[in-house]
Structure 1
């Protein structure tokens, strides 16, 4: 197939998918950011109650946007059948930050106890120490000490409310993934990219320029994924560099936390966001300015955040295919009240 023919097919597919979205997204009509009903004690832009139904508080947030129609439209991204898993190996983070325990595996020879040849293994993982989803009870608004839809910190410590099991019982996370390959765009236009273990802020202008350069248009309900270079750095760093970058400093590249970023994210109505860096947003956030993206995404809107996803093979596949959209499935661990989980994410082209 010639590159011209492949490009034409991709454009036709994008047009068909965008036409399908008109019907797919009709079930959710969002007010403008400044016209959202005020929620007592919360900043303008909070959507608590928006997804509540039959008097029951919602616990899955913007995953509600992944309707059957949206998933069906996303399935049209499958053209070649190529696929790549986006989970980093569990053992990769040798030196977890924030005093978290490292991954360990114990292999068990069952012949010693059951007298037949077989093996088991037992794993220890801190679900925040590698590729992960943050659930809606992982990170509270630090001033109000509340999680999505008004869950208090005290309630979060003793209930399963807002746990990842809600996503699993709904059928996991399935939709259209969109890679915003900021790293490839930056290096193409500016040369060497900033170190991923500095607090470099990726701006809305950067994201818009990357999408335009890729020829990519987002839709409400998309799963937006940003490649910053953090995993590439980690894969090529020495043990000493990894220790300094992931455990001793806990500073990382990411999306800028600002009013412009918050309004841009709201206006795009993503079902989920993810990235390859430590915390999706530039870390540590500036809590005193009021634009910490964890507080907006997880708390105000109920938008899951994926962190430390391995996007290296995905980036190459997107470049080879000449498109940066794909069908995405994610099967988190089905743990009642789960707070974090490896994503079990697969991109299919």
Structure 2
């Protein structure tokens, strides 16, 4: 398998380098069905595409945020208004999956010194609120491998595929696109499904929402989908929050099937973001072979953002009648980091 994988990766890497010479701002991708087969992985695996000079890539589709793409995204700035998209760290009152709650300890220097000053210490689980999933967060379940062939044993001991790679590249900067599915659904169909049910959002409805907004897509966009989970959490009672988060790991999200996978591949997003627990409808159906965490994080190296606060962003997009903006994100610079608050700002 190792030799087969290396051969496929070399073929993809050579293709990517050949087609991006000459100062072009875009990569040219093979069609989904023409991607070189990687043994043990489904058709459509992208390992090796971004490898360079014999070195395995650890950044994934963030590579699509080239200087030309970022410069083009900067033209989205017109008014200078800006909105941070991180939920407050303390906001998830009952984190799911047995994750520990946020905790802040305030340190009063006057208790032990002559200084009048304050420090604080903060505990967070990087998956318990607004977050990025790194390329070593979720494995291909059948093989136990992560992006670009990293094994689970290697991931447990190495820094490979960590969030520090994004930071060393200069963070995540590009054109953000809000797909306000929730507003489209309420305008066209009425009351939206509960975000704490396993409602699957068909990709056809994402396409319809983009048409309704008048939004076109470009390679390297950071796609952001609003489904209503954050709005529900903001308005829910303490009892409902506990029932809908800690007690039941079920949430709305994008439908995972072959049609969704092929559409996502054809768009070549730099990253994918949602306001719900897992971006895709959760829990996934692993036996179907279309788990979006596997396809995005593992097969393509596409970072997933989850539980971003898109409420003010939605209001601003409606007010300005445009759903694209300049987006910056500064993940935590932790070597080998597995997840991170996004530190994300939308600028209009």
TM-score bracket, shorter-length normalisation: over 0.9
The Cα offsets for residues 164-213 of structure 1, whole Å up to 9 and x where unpaired, read as: 00000000000000000000000001110000000001111100100000
Task: Please identify runs of 4+ aligned residues in structure 1 that moved more than 4 A.
Answer: 23-27
1:52 maps to 2:79: no
Contact preservation (8 Å) 2:223, 2:272? yes
Closer, same or farther: CA 249–24 of 1 in aligned 2, 3 Å: farther
What pairs with 1:222-237 in structure 2 (closer than 5 Å)? Answer: 222-237=221-236
Aligned equivalents of 1:26, 1:331: Cα separation in 2: 23
Q: Which residue of 1 aligns with 2:126?
A: 127
Q: Which stretches in structure 1 are left out of the alignment for 5+ residues? A: 1-22
State the secondary structure of the residue aligned to 1:120: strand
- 1:112, distance to aligned residue in structure 2 (A): 1.5
Deviations 1:236-284 (A, max 9, x none): 0000000000011110000000000000000000000001000000000
Counterpart CA distance in 2 for 1:136 and 1:25 is 26
Residue correspondence of structure 1 range 1-349 to structure 2 within 5 A: 26-349=25-348
Q: SS of the counterpart of 2:185?
A: helix
TM-score (norm: length of structure 1): 0.93
Tell me how far apart the structure 2 counterparts of residues 347 and 249 of structure 1 sit (CA, whole Å): 32
Question: How many equivalent pairs are there?
Answer: 327
| Counterpart Cα distance in 2 of 1:25 and 1:112 | 60
Q: Is this contact kept in 2: 1:25–1:70, CA < 8 A? A: no
Residue 110 to residue 54, structure 1, CA distance change in 2 (3 Å): same
Change (3 A) 1:57 1:255: same
Give the whole-Å Cα distance in 2 for the aligned partners of 1:191 and 1:274: 24
Aligned-partner Cα distance in 1 for 2:109–2:52: 49
Shift of 1:114: 2.4
* Inter-partner Cα distance in structure 1 for 2:167 and 2:95: 27
Deviation at 1:25, TM superposition (A): 5.8
Question: What SS does the aligned partner of 1:89 have?
Answer: coil
Q: Is the 8 A contact 1:25 1:65 kept in 2?
A: no
Alpha carbons 1:24, 1:67 under 8 Å: kept: no
Whole-Å separation in 2 of the counterparts to 1:141 and 1:101? 25
Unaligned runs of 5+ in 2: 1-21
